[in-house]
């Protein structure tokens, strides 16, 4: 591709508009197979192969086949979107090669859409209609490997506007008044960050993008980098102009090979088109961009550690000041922004601050992408206006809890965040309101948990992560998280002591007060919030040796309530260790010595007659309805 001018951008847009209006392009149908990491993992390649194969075999002419990024509903991948002239758009989900072949025959050849395989129409699904796609505006709707498709969707218009018609101050003012706050976790106002760096005099400055995404369970940034890499690059060009930088890096973890590939392709194409490198769009502005592969340490997402890592040093945070706006990468003024933050810059520039503020609240404007996972029906990426209640996200967008479980809590902000219980579900999703609950908005991980989750186990899971990921620089985090983990492990394995909960809280507060970086300062949040909202669970573990969720293996036993058991045998059939005995239609029994606590009977019983009791409990099941009834003798060790 030759170097582009602003006119060319418009021409490409026009050309695509014409071609892709299906009729004019001569196509009847456009099929898009979504090939994000989630889709590919679920088998999108086989689906694509089957589609191409069938089309060739049947010599179908008028179908346009395209691939694209994640469609947002990762739990239902592989997904293919079918657009037809005059017809309704249909999204086929949970596909495999066989289904695809059938779709080709019945839908494309015989003209009968296979509604059994399709999602309900878009407008009927809260999953889609409650969402507002700004960050995800292009995702799943274009081929990320084709720069022209991005340009056709208004791509690089904002960069052109910023480079040609706007001064750095004007750019900064728009971003400032949009109220956009950094989406990487801390929520620092982006415009302000740019302003600080723009005011520092230096011939070399760096514009950096944080694509490290280390939170377990988060995949917003990966999806954007994979499915809309140019939006990140365009955001960086605009930021570079604002702060006066001519060099940039995108820091991506090496575990994201597809994101790296797409970003590299996008950079190469943009350079070829004169949208990166020297004299961008003939404006005389230079901005060179490179990818830096991170080795996948969580702490390398922290800004000072990330900069050390790019310098080739040990990725270890250092104290601020000096702030990166003064001394960042190689001691030069630097701005680091998150992927999601940058992806929103071009619409802000094109549509203005008021448009951006039209969604969200006064202090938390715009939208936020969440990675919805856990025991929820609609697993995937959702983008919602800030300020909507958590309940709406979980119950409406997310479709509520899977199977017969009951909502227990939602973990926000991954290992740095905390859990929010049922009674706080009406909390609006804003930076301030969420912090008041003890959790954080964070980068947008949202793990929904039902009553089969043990909160001690949950806290332990996150502490295992942070204790392992602590860089080791400062003692409160390096040793403190390890001690928290030890105590939690003791509680989960039946060695808990009465004073443990107090120790956990006390040590947590000291770790928060003294740690150097955000990792240590937030690592105890899962401990503090689970204690705050589920103290009874800790006490039940410690005092009664009883993990009521039946997760901590040493602190539970599975018993069949004879009064409820119908003798259907479902449990018996599912038990992998043949621990269940009983005649048909007679109450069954679990032989405790053989039970391996796998929970399959608990899940299998339709009559809920399997009860989770303290380990070694032998008494009457009804006696234990109240935890107070669980007298000591049931403690592990004595049992």
Ligand X SMILES: Cc1cc2nc3c(=O)[nH]c(=O)nc-3n(C[C@H](O)[C@H](O)[C@H](O)COP(=O)(O)O)c2cc1C
**In the complex, what is the shortest distance from the CB of residue 214 to ligand X, in angstroms, rounded to a whole number?**
4
CB of 188 to ligand X, least distance (A): 5
- Smallest separation (angstroms) from ligand SF4 to the CB of 530: 21
**What is the smallest separation between the CB atom of 514 and other proteins, expressed in angstroms?**
4
Which residues are bridge partners to 383 per DSSP? 369
The beta-carbon contacts of 264-272 under 8 Å, at least 24 apart in sequence, are: 264/291, 265/145, 265/229, 266/144, 266/145, 266/147, 266/229, 266/230, 266/233, 267/233, 267/291, 269/1, 269/147, 270/147, 270/230, 270/233, 272/1
| Three-class secondary structure of residue 597 per DSSP | coil
Residues between 164 and 183 with contacts to ligand X, criterion CB under 6 A: 182-183
Residue 478 Cβ, how far from ligand SF4 at the closest point, in Å?
5
36-50 residues labelled b (16+ CB within 10 A) or e (exposed): bbbbbebbbbbbbeb
φ/ψ (deg, to 5) at 518? -55, -30
CA atoms of 367 and 139, how far apart (whole Å): 15
Shortest approach of ligand X to residue 413 CB, angstroms? 11
Site for ligand X in 515-574 (CB under 6 A): 517-519
Q: Which of the listed partners (ligand X, other proteins, ligand SF4, none) does 341 bind, with a CB threshold of 5 to 8 Å by partner kind?
A: ligand X
Whole-angstrom Cα distance, residue 457 to residue 492?
A: 7
Largest Cα separation within the chain, whole Å, is 85
**Per-residue contact track with ligand SF4, 471 to 490, x per CB under 6 A?**
xxxx--xx------------
- Return the residues of window 512-551 that contact ligand SF4 according to CB under 6 A: 515-517, 519-520
- 352 — alpha (psi -120 to 50), left (phi > 0) or beta? left
Give the nearer residue to ligand SF4 in terms of CB position, either 150 or 298: 298
Of 113, 155, 184, 457, the one binding ligand X (CB under 6 A) is 184
Residue 513, contacted partner among other proteins, ligand SF4, ligand X, none, CB below 5-8 A by kind: other proteins
C-beta closer to other proteins: residue 98 or 311: 311
Which residue number, 67 or 210, has a Cβ lying nearer to ligand X? 210
Alpha helices in 359-479 (DSSP H): 390-391, 431-437, 455-469, 475-478
Grouping H, G, I as helix, E, B as strand and the rest as coil, residue 227 is: helix
State how far the Cα of 174 lies from the Cα of 593, in Å rounded to an integer.
68
Least CB distance to ligand X at residue 323 (A): 12
- Per the DSSP assignment, residues forming a β-bridge with 274 are none
Q: Which two tokens stand for residue 406?
A: 């009951």
Residue 151 or 471 with smaller CB distance to other proteins? 471
CB of 316 to other proteins, least distance (A): 8
Residue identified by tokens 């939602």 is 410
Binding-site partner at residue 338 among ligand X, ligand SF4, other proteins, none, CB < 5 to 8 Å by type: ligand X
Residue 321 partner contact from ligand SF4, other proteins, ligand X, none using kind-dependent CB cut-offs of 5 to 8 Å: other proteins
472 or 637: whose CB is closer to other proteins?
472
Pick from 371, 367, 324, 335: nearest CA to 348: 367
Q: Which is nearer to ligand X, 519 or 531 (CB)?
A: 519
Residue 503 near which of ligand X, other proteins, ligand SF4, none (CB within 5-8 Å, type-dependent): other proteins
Distances from the Cα of 70 to the Cαs of 111, 259, 521, in angstroms?
Answer: 27, 12, 34
Considering only the stretches 236-244, 336-344, 583-591, 626-634, report the one whose residues sit in contact with ligand X under the rule CB under 6 A: 336-344
Under the criterion CB under 6 A, does residue 565 sit at the interface with ligand SF4? no
Q: How many CB atoms lie within 10 A of CB 604?
A: 17
Name the 3-class secondary structure at 361.
Answer: coil
Query: Measured between alpha carbons, how far is 179 from 355 in angstroms, rounded to an integer?
Result: 11
Q: Print the binding letters for residues 282-311 with ligand SF4: x by CB under 6 A, - otherwise.
A: -----------------x------------
Q: Which is nearer to ligand SF4, 344 or 470 (CB)?
A: 470
Q: Which stretch binds ligand SF4 (CB under 6 A): 105-113, 212-220, 344-352, 468-476?
A: 468-476
Question: Least CB distance from residue 517 to ligand SF4, whole Å?
Answer: 3
CA distance linking residue 504 with residue 14, whole number of Å = 62
Q: Which does 88 bind (CB under 5 to 8 A by kind): ligand X, other proteins, ligand SF4, none?
A: none
**E strand or H helix at 12, and its extent?**
helix 6-20
Residues that bind ligand SF4 (CB under 6 A): 299, 317, 470-474, 477-478, 515-517, 519-520
Residues that bind ligand X (CB under 6 A): 182-186, 188, 190, 210, 212-214, 298-299, 301-303, 336-338, 341, 443, 517-519
């Amino acid at each position: 591709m030759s170097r582009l001018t602003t006119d060319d951008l418009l021409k490409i847009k026009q050309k695509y508009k014409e071609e892709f209006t299906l009729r004019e392009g001569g196509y009847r149908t456009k099929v898009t197979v979504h090939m994000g990491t989630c889709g590919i993992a679920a088998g999108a390649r086989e689906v694509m192969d089957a589609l191409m194969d069938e089309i060739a075999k049947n010599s179908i002419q008028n179908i346009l086949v395209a691939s694209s990024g994640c469609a947002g509903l990762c739990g239902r991948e592989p997904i293919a979107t079918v657009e037809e002239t005059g017809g309704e758009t249909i999204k086929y989900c949970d596909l495999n090669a066989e289904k695809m072949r059938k779709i080709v025959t019945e839908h494309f050849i015989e003209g009968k859409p296979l509604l059994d395989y399709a999602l309900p129409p878009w407008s009927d699904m809260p999953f889609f209609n409650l969402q507002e796609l700004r960050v995800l505006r292009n995702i799943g709707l274009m081929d990320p490997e084709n720069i022209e498709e991005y340009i056709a969707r208004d791509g690089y218009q904002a960069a052109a506007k910023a480079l040609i018609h706007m001064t750095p101050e004007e750019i900064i003012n728009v971003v400032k008044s949009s109220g956009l706050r950094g989406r990487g976790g801390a929520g620092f106002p982006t415009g302000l960050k740019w302003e600080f760096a723009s005011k520092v005099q230096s011939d070399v400055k760096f514009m950096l993008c944080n694509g490290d995404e280390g939170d377990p369970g988060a995949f917003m940034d990966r999806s954007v980098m994979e499915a809309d890499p140019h939006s990140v690059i365009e955001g960086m060009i605009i930021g570079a102009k604002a702060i006066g930088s001519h060099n940039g890096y995108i820091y991506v973890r090496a575990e994201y090979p597809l994101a790296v590939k797409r970003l590299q392709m996008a950079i190469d194409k943009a350079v070829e088109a004169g949208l990166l490198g020297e004299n961008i769009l003939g404006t005389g502005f230079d901005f060179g961009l490179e990818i830096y592969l991170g080795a996948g340490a969580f702490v390398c997402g922290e800004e000072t550690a990330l900069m050390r890592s790019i310098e080739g040093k040990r990725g270890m945070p250092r104290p601020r000041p000096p702030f990166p706006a003064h001394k960042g990468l190689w001691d030069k003024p630097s701005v680091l922004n998150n992927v999601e933050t940058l992806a929103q810059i071009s619409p802000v520039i094109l549509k203005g601050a008021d448009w951006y503020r039209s969604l969200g609240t006064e202090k938390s404007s715009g939208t936020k992408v969440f990675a919805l996972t856990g025991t929820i029906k609609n697993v995937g990426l959702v983008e919602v206006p800030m300020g909507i209640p958590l309940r709406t996200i979980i119950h409406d967008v997310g479709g509520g809890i899977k199977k017969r479980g009951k909502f227990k809590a939602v973990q926000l902000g991954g290992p740095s965040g905390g859990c929010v219980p049922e009674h706080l579900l009406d909390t609006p999703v804003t930076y301030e309101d969420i912090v008041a609950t003890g959790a954080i908005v964070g980068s947008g991980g949202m793990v929904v948990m039902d009553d089969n989750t043990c909160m001690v186990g949950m806290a332990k899971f996150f502490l295992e992560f942070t204790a392992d990921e602590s860089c080791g620089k400062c003692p409160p985090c390096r040793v403190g998280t390890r001690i928290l983990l030890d105590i939690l492990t003791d509680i989960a394995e039946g060695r808990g002591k009465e004073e443990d909960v107090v120790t956990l809280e006390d040590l947590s507060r000291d770790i928060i007060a003294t740690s150097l970086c955000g990792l240590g300062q937030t690592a105890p949040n899962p401990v503090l919030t689970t204690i705050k909202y589920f103290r009874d669970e800790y006490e039940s573990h410690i005092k009664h040796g009883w993990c009521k969720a039946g997760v901590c293996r040493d602190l539970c036993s599975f018993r069949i309530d004879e009064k409820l058991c119908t003798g259907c045998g479902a449990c018996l059939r599912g038990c992998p260790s043949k621990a269940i005995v009983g005649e048909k239609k007679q109450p069954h029994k679990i032989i405790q010595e053989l039970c391996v606590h796998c929970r399959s009977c608990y899940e299998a019983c339709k009559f809920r007659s399997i009860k989770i009791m303290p380990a070694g409990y032998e008494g009457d099941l009804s006696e234990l309805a109240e935890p107070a009834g669980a007298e000591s003798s049931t403690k592990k060790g004595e049992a």
